[in-house]
Structure formats: C-alpha cells, structure tokens
C-alpha cells in the first residue's frame, strides 16, 4: 500500500511540474514559432482532422478499457489483495486527449486552442467515456456482473414475464422493488425471447438517454445555436451520471421540465402525474416534482427578475400544489379518505393526522432511522474514498460557484424571492440526500443526492437560458469564469475514469463448468425438496436453468435489507426453514464468516450479513460446490440422507 501511495505521489509531482512548464511555455514568446507550425499543420490536415478528432476522443476509452494497456493504469496490491488505480497517470492522458481534441476542433487560424473548443472537447470526451462505460457491460455473460445485478433482472421480469417461472398462477410473485422501476425496466420482457444481452442493453439505454433528454428539455435552444443546446444535453448526461440517478426520478423531472412551460390547465395534470410517479417509486421523492416546478416557475419567467407578477405566483402555486396532490394526496391522503368513507367512520382530525404523520419531525425521524446512520461515510472512508461531502463538493462546486458569480455580477438578474426559490429547495434536497447517504447500505456513491443533483441541473439550465450569450465574453475577461467553465466540464468527464477497469470475465470453460454444476445439482436436489435461488435468479429468468419451481422467498436483496434493519421477527421464519432443512439446495454467492474492521470497505454491511445470514446458514447447511470466478456457491443440508454428484 505504501508503494502505491509513493507512486501516486510521484505521478502527481510530475504532473504539477509538467503543468508549470507548459504554462510557462504557453505564456512565453519562445513557443510562438512552434504554435505557428502547429496551426499550419492543422490547416494542411483538411478532412483528416475529423477522424483524428474521433481517435483522440476515443483515446481514454481505449487506453483504460483495453486489457493490454490496463496494467499501465492499475497496480495490484498484494498486501491488501486489491487493485489500485493510478489516477494521476489517467488524468495526464485525459488532459492530453482534451488538449489534442481542442486543437483539432479550433477553426481560428490565429489561435491554437480556444476555450469554447476546449469545452466542446471535454463534453464529447466525457460523454463518449460514460457511454462506453455503460455499453461495455452489455454482454451475454450469464452470471451477475455485480452484487445485485442478476436478482434485479429477476425483479424486473416478474411483472411482464412471470410466465418464465413455474409458480402458482393464482398467486402474485413478490419482488423487492417498486412498481415504477419494475414496469420501466421490465418493458423488454414483453418480448418472450428477451436475452440477458438485450436486458443489459436496455439497462444501458435507461441510464443514458433520459439524462440527456432532461438536459435538452430543461433549457431552450437558441436561434442559430442548436449545437450548444445539443452539447448541454450531453453535458447533463455526464453531470447526472456522477450520481448515478435512478431513471424514474429523471422521468419525473422530464415531466416537470415539460409542464412548467405549458399553460396552467395543461401543466397541472402533468405535475400530478409527475408527483404520483415519483412517490410510487420512492417515498423520499414525493415532494420533489412540486419543489422543482416551484423553483422553475418562479425563477424562469420574469424579464426584470426583481419583479414577479401575480400571474407568476399563481402559476407557481397551482403547479406546486398539483405536484403535492400527485405525490402526497393521491398516494397517501386519498386511500385514507376512501377507507373512512367505506367504513362509515367520521372524518376526524385525528384520523387525518395519522395520514400525514410522516411529515412530522417524529415521523420523518422514524423513517430516517429505521436503519443505523453511519456519519463517518460523509468524510473520506474505505467505502467511498472522498466521502459524501467531499465527493459532492468536487462534483458540484464549480457549477455552484459559476451560478453565484452570474448572480452577484448581475449577468443573471434574479430577485430576492427568486434566490429563495433556488436556495430553499436545494437546501432541503441536500439535507435529505446527506441523511440518506449516511444510512447503512448507502454512502458508496452520490446516488442518494439525486434530488439535489437534478435541482442543481435545473438551476444551471435557468442560468444558461439567461446568460449563455454572455459567457463567451465573460470568459475572455475573467480567468475565474474560464477556470470554472473548464472544471464544470472536465470533472464530470474525468470522474468515471478514476476507477474504471476493463470488464474481466471468466473463461468460457469456467462459465460452462459452473452452469453444468448448477444444472446437475438442481436436477438432483429438486427430487428431495425445494430449490432456493437466494442469488443468481437471472439463471431462471433467461432460461439457463429450466423446469425448476420458483421459490420466491428470501431473495438476497430483501434479506440484506432485513439484516441491515436488524429485523429479528423476519429472520424467525428464515431460521426455522434452515433448521428444518426445508430447502434441498440453496444457490448463493460465495460466503465467508470473516468479520471486517472499520477500515475495510462496507464492513458494517458485511458484518450484518455474516451475523444474520451466513453463520445461521452454516449451522444447518454445508457448501457442496463453489465457483469463485462466477461468484457462485451451492449449499445442501448437513446430515442429508441423499447424495448428488
């Protein structure tokens, strides 16, 4: 580990020295002849500039994701048995690609590089890399690529693809997922021959295209300036990917972006739909559409932003109320009223108070503390290197400072009420996101800051509409503006490159051996009892294992959630089924009984699983086959009176 830090430190030192030298040369007259030569060569390239530009944009993708060059950017620490990336070396090649692309895109024959082309280069490189990161996982590999992937695919399939399973037709299949995500990701299962490759492609589409669409709808294309508008959408894709953010919330935000520009009578129903859609996905999102539209409706309309008309206030209020009706009224109040009417009870303040209990400090605290809060994850830690607060600052501070600069210098004229409409929702989203990130099971990235990131994107879009025509001149006259613009583009572009690695899959022989093992053990074990796929349910979903009755109980993600919540009542049934050896075979990922220390990644989650699941499992079951390369382990009852090959 110490050698890794020394190597990284040396790389950073070399990068700083190189930057100082390049800056000195750039401002020195001695480089002028070389600059003229470079411009002359660029002119001679002609149409070759475009394939060279594509090559340079793809350079970080090829260097980082190609197996032959990965060893240059990654060290294996044999003491810690983990891979260590070399971020400063990656940064060097990213900057080299950025500079080279900007040189080729610059059309000014008197300049080697211009700021606008550098920004365009950063957006294109970042967008290409993030898209490649998603597409590299589109593979027909039958086992799970990460901890929850396979079982999530099973969750998605249940709504439209339940005919893939042997399960009683008169019973619903319980899945640990909300209906909105299940219906959205489950759409491809309307096609009976969907493969795991097709499901992964759909997953990549959902985590990319809606992000860009939100950026395009959040801002208006200027006349004769369609390319900046298109690039803003691409930048939105890389900016939101820093979460990343679940697509249903992005779709709710898209509805908000559409609704606030419509007349009130059209916008209100759209906001009701947005609020309902968000709340049906996650309870913490119930007020997000109402708060976003309030911000947009109050900040966007005024020409002289210090004066808001009565019409502006009415529109903001009606649309926000529509969002509340959809997110809270239909979801929580209306069912309660229906129950009261049908039961004949009188509608009392007490009965209605039970409905809004979640909005009280006590109710909100109860929801927030159902699982332990790990405040250490807000600061640098083993689970998420920079920590939530520093990671969020890196991701968002440049755009926040840029927006503040535009407001303070009156390039974006907003009044006190509009500033409040910007700050208050963002502050609320920030608090909720930070608390959610501190919950056990979270804090591995910025995805719980989803409402804040989308709200900030809306603020940036409003600033873009108001001041985009001035940014070019501002950047010429202010080094601070230039620096903030470059950082706002470069950070989302470079962040996914820091820990990226090629997709390393087991050999075809290992995959086939593991599949054969599962198939043989399942065929044998189901003669003696039920077969439980706690994990790897995608093997059933996509037909790798056939003719096995589905046991829907004890899905791994649900069991983990109960372990993190310390839900002893839930595990009573689980322990009874284990001790009575209800299952003749259990399919899981490889198990261990090692309790991790506080300096290990996700040590609380690991220890909760070991305590609540692994140790009780091994009291009644033993491992009969293990395939580490595909993250698979099979368990059968101890003292069983049957044998399987």
pLDDT digits (tens, 9 = 90+) for 204-249: 999 999 999 999 999 988 777 788 899 999 999 999 999 899 999 9
Cα dihedral sign, 360-364-367-369: negative
**CA 249, CA 257: separation in Å to the nearest integer?**
12
- pLDDT 10s digits, 26-47: 555 556 666 677 677 777 777 8
Structure tokens at 45: 């390239």
**Crossing angle, helix 310-324 and helix 264-281, to 10 degrees?**
30
pLDDT at position 169 over 60: yes
pTM of this prediction exceeds 0.75? yes
Give the per-residue pLDDT at 347: 44
Q: What are phi and psi of 305, to 5 degrees?
A: -65, -10
The confidence band for 14, taking pLDDT boundaries of 50, 70 and 90, is low
pLDDT at position 93 over 90: no
Average pLDDT over residues 382-403: 91
Q: Which residue has the tokens 């609320």?
A: 428
Give the per-residue pLDDT at 7: 52
Structure tokens at 166: 């042997």
**CA 221, CA 230: separation in Å to the nearest integer?**
8
The confidence band for 73, taking pLDDT boundaries of 50, 70 and 90, is confident
**54-93 residues labelled b (16+ CB within 10 A) or e (exposed):** eebbebbbebbbeeeebeebbbeeeeeeeebbbbbbbbbb
**429-453 residues labelled b (16+ CB within 10 A) or e (exposed):** bbebbbbbbbbbbbbeebbbbbbbb
pLDDT at position 346 over 50: no
Task: Decide: 535 and 588 in contact? Cβ < 8 Å.
Answer: yes
What number of residues does the chain have?
A: 645
Structure tokens at 348: 């009392």
Domain ranges for the chain: 2-113, 149-194+506-637, 211-490
Burial class from Cβ neighbours inside 10 Å (0-12, 13-18, 19+) for residue 137 reads: middle
The residue ranking higher by pLDDT, 221 or 529, is 529
Among residues 196, 71, 86, 74, which one has the least CA distance to residue 137?
196
**CA 365, CA 360: separation in Å to the nearest integer?**
8
What are the counts of helices (DSSP H) followed by strands (DSSP E) for the chain? Answer: 28, 6
Average pLDDT over residues 429-442: 90
**CA angle, corner 134, sides to 133 and 136, nearest 5?**
70
**CA 442, CA 387: separation in Å to the nearest integer?**
11
**CA angle, corner 397, sides to 396 and 401, nearest 5?**
125
Mean of per-residue pLDDT scores for the chain: 85
Burial class from Cβ neighbours inside 10 Å (0-12, 13-18, 19+) for residue 338 reads: exposed
Give the per-residue pLDDT at 30: 57
- pLDDT 10s digits, 455-481: 999 999 999 888 877 777 777 777 888
């Amino acid at each position: 580990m110490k050698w890794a830090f020394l190597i990284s430190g040396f790389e950073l030192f070399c990068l700083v020295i190189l930057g100082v030298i390049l800056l000195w040369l750039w401002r020195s007259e001695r480089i002028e002849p070389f600059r003229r030569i470079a411009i002359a060569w660029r002119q001679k390239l002609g149409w070759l500039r475009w394939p060279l530009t594509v090559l340079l944009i793809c350079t970080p993708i090829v260097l980082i994701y190609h197996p032959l060059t990965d060893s240059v950017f990654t060290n294996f620490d044999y003491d810690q048995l983990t891979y260590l990336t070399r971020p400063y070396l990656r940064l060097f090649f990213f900057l080299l690609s950025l500079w080279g692309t900007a040189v080729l895109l610059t059309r000014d024959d008197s300049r080697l590089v211009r700021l606008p082309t550098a920004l365009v280069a950063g957006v294109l490189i970042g967008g290409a890399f993030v898209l490649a990161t998603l597409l590299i996982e589109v593979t027909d590999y039958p086992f799970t690529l990460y901890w929850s992937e396979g079982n999530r695919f099973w969750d998605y399939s249940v709504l439209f693809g339940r005919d893939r399973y042997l399960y009683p037709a008169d019973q619903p299949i319980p899945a640990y997922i909300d209906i909105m995500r299940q219906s959205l990701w489950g759409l491809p299962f309307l096609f009976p021959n969907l493969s795991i490759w097709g499901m992964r492609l759909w997953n990549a589409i959902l985590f990319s295209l809606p992000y860009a669409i939100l950026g395009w709808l959040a801002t208006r294309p200027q006349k004769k300036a369609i390319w900046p508008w298109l690039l803003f959408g691409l930048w939105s894709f890389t900016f939101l990917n820093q979460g990343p953010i679940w697509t249903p919330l992005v779709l709710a935000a898209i509805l908000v972006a559409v609704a606030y520009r419509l007349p009130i009578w059209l916008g209100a129903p759209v906001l009701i739909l947005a609020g309902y859609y968000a709340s049906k996905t996650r309870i913490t999102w119930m007020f997000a559409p109402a708060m976003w539209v309030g911000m947009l409706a109050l900040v966007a309309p005024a020409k002289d932003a210090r004066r808001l008309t009565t019409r502006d206030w009415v529109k903001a209020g009606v649309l926000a109320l529509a969002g509340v009706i959809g997110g809270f009224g239909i979801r929580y109040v209306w069912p309660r009223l229906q129950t009261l009417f049908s039961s004949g009870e009188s509608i009392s303040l007490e009965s209605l108070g039970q409905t809004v209990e979640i909005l009280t400090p006590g109710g909100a605290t109860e929801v927030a503390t159902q699982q332990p809060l790990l405040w250490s994850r807000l600061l640098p830690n083993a689970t998420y290197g920079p920590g939530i607060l520093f990671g969020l600052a890196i991701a968002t501070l440049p755009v926040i400072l840029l927006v503040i600069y535009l407001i303070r210098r009156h390039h974006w004229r907003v009044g006190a009420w509009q500033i409040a409409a910007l700050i208050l929702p963002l502050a609320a989203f920030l608090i909720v996101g930070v608390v959610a990130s501190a919950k056990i099971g979270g804090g591995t990235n910025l995805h719980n800051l989803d409402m804040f990131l989308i709200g900030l994107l809306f603020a940036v879009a409003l600033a873009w509409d108001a001041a985009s025509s001035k940014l070019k001149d501002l950047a010429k006259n202010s080094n601070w503006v230039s620096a903030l613009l470059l950082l706002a583009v470069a950070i989302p572009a470079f962040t996914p490159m820091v820990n990226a690695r090629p997709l390393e899959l087991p050999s075809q022989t290992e995959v086939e051996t593991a599949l054969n093992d599962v198939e043989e053990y399942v065929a044998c074990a189901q003669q003696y009892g039920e077969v439980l796929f706690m994990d790897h349910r995608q093997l059933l979903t996509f037909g790798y294992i056939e003719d096995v009755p589905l046991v829907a109980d004890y899905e791994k993600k649900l069991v983990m959630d109960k372990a993190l919540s310390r839900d002893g009542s839930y595990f009573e049934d689980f322990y009874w089924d284990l001790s009575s050896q209800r299952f003749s075979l259990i399919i899981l990922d490889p198990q261990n009984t090692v309790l991790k220390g506080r300096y290990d990644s996700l040590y609380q989650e690991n220890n909760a699983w070991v305590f609540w699941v692994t140790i009780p499992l091994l009291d009644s079951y033993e491992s009969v086959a293990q395939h580490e390369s595909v993250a698979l382990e099979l368990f059968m009852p101890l003292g069983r009176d049957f044998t399987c090959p």
